[in-house]
């Protein structure tokens, strides 16, 4: 059973170079590739290797649990996006393990609470951090008043003066959608003003860099034109790795072909299929991410109608699979199994042979492939 991702390497790498060059041209700084989760379906090790082909000296991972794999497969410094907090016992233990095995000089922590900062200040050596602001995302980060208190704290200032603490900038994780056209740029400008004022008031050197996520090139252009010498670093994941979906093809192998009589019942739930239909068993199941979906944002009326219609079909025991044969997506015979799926072909359709493959339209951030092919060189 094989569920395979094939990458058109030259085309995909050309996109990576183009996206990277575009961001460099706008911001004057290299892109910060984000390597997190399942590695956007491609894998963290592969993305770490591809990052080395791009200009820049910093990559980012999602959590401390992803840190060692990227450290061992890249030469760049690594930002951990999830904030460090000693109150998360499992994560604190993982941080301790990393500290024992790796040069901590390559690691940059994100800090969003005084508790996290105080825990680091009590340790030996010099620690590099990025402070995170609580943007309109309202996920992590210091509020404006909290950020002011942190930079005014004498213990923090002492650590900065003694170089036991290096603050490399302010992180701004912004929403993907915004209520107004320039809302995200306005939000960054507001935080920049506070950040500039508090840095000058601290009386010690603090990096002015703004580390931003989810800004378009147009927004970055507007921002850098207004900020002048302030440095902006764009952290980019989906746009970079999945920005040219045509370079990525997911396929499941046909494992079995069963022409069935009318009314035949199949699968765990013994459901019947179309008259004169053919049942295909295809590699790719829930272990690969097939049949798994995040909740729909349903922001528009059309999206809500589509979501309601899909839910009604699911409730009736009918669901469209991601597998395509002869230019059309085919129906699941029943919900996918762990490593394979059963799909129907109606009468009159050319039937594939065992060993043929069906393309699959998948969500790469929730997909796990048995093999990723095309990046060997």
CATH of domain 245-373: 2.40.37.10
**pLDDT (0 to 100) of residue 301:** 46
**pLDDT (0 to 100) of residue 329:** 96
Could you tell me the residue ranges of all domains in the chain? Answer: 31-241, 245-373
DSSP state of 133: B
> Of 186, 91, 175, 84, which is closest to residue 128 (Cα–Cα)?
84
Please tell me if the domain spanning 31-241 has the same topology as the one spanning 245-373.
Answer: no
pLDDT tens-digit readout, 234-252: 999 999 999 999 999 999 9
CATH of domain 31-241: 3.20.20.10
Q: Has this prediction a pTM greater than 0.95?
A: no
Confirm if 141 and 134 have CB atoms less than 8 A apart.
yes
* Average pLDDT over the chain, rounded to an integer: 90
pLDDT tens-digit readout, 53-66: 999 999 999 999 99
Instruction: Quote the CA–CA distance of 214 and 312 in Å, as a whole number.
Output: 34
Q: How confident is the model at residue 307 (pLDDT cuts 50, 70, 90)?
A: very low
pLDDT tens-digit readout, 318-368: 789 999 999 999 999 999 999 999 999 999 899 999 999 999 999 999 999
E-assigned strand segments in 260-326: 265-266, 271-272, 278-283, 320-325
Handedness of CA 307, 313, 316, 321 (dihedral sign): negative
pLDDT tens-digit readout, 28-51: 999 999 999 999 999 999 999 999
Angle between helices 217-227 and 183-202 (to 10 degrees): 40
**pLDDT (0 to 100) of residue 91:** 97
Angle at 41 between CA 36 and CA 46, to 5 degrees: 70
Q: How confident is the model at residue 78 (pLDDT cuts 50, 70, 90)?
A: very high
Flag whether pLDDT at 209 surpasses 90: yes
Contacts of residue 194, defined as CB under 8 A and 6 or more positions apart, other chains included, come to: 144, 147, 148
Tokens of 226: 């207004």
The full length of the chain comes to: 377
Residue 262 has phi, psi (to 5 degrees) of: -55, 135
Instruction: Work out the average pLDDT over 180-200.
Output: 91
> Of 306, 294, 310, 309, which is closest to residue 365 (Cα–Cα)?
294
């Amino acid at each position: 059973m094989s569920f395979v991702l094939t990458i058109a390497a030259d085309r995909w790498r050309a996109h990576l170079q183009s996206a990277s060059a575009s961001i460099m041209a706008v911001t004057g700084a290299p892109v910060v590739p984000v390597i997190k989760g399942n590695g956007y379906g491609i894998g963290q090790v592969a993305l770490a290797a591809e990052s080395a082909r791009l200009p820049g000296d910093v990559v980012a991972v999602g959590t401390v649990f992803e840190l060692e794999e990227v450290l061992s497969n890249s030469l760049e410094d690594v930002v951990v996006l999830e904030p460090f907090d000693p109150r998360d016992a499992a994560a604190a233990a993982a941080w301790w393990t990393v500290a024992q095995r790796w040069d901590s000089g390559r690691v940059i922590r994100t800090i969003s609470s005084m508790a996290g900062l105080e825990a680091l200040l009590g340790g030996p050596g010099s620690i590099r951090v990025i402070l995170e602001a609580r943007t309109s995302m309202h996920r992590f980060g210091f509020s404006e008043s909290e950020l002011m208190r942190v930079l005014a704290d004498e213990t923090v200032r002492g650590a900065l003066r003694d170089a036991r603490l290096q603050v490399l900038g302010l992180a701004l994780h912004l929403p993907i959608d915004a209520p107004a056209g320039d809302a995200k740029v306005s939000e960054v400008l507001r935080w920049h003003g506070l950040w500039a004022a508090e840095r000058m008031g601290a009386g010690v050197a603090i990096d002015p860099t703004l580390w931003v996520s989810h800004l378009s090139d147009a927004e970055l252009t507007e921002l850098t034109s207004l900020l002048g010498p302030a440095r902006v670093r764009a952290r980019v994941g989906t746009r970079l790795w999945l920005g040219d979906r045509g370079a990525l093809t997911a396929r499941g192998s046909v494992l079995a072909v069963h022409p069935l009589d009318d009314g035949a019942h199949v699968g765990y739930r013994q459901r019947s299929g179309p008259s004169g239909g053919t049942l295909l068993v295809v590699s790719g199941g829930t272990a690969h991410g097939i049949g798994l979906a995040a909740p729909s944002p349903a922001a528009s009326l059309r999206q809500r109608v589509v979501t309601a219609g899909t839910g009604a079909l699911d409730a009736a025991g009918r669901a469209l699979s991601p597998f395509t044969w002869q230019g059309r997506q085919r129906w699941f015979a029943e919900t996918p199994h762990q490593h394979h799926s059963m799909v129907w072909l109606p009468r009159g359709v050319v039937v594939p042979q065992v060993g043929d493959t069906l393309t699959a339209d998948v969500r790469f951030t929730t997909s796990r492939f048995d093999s990723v092919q095309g990046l060997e060189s």
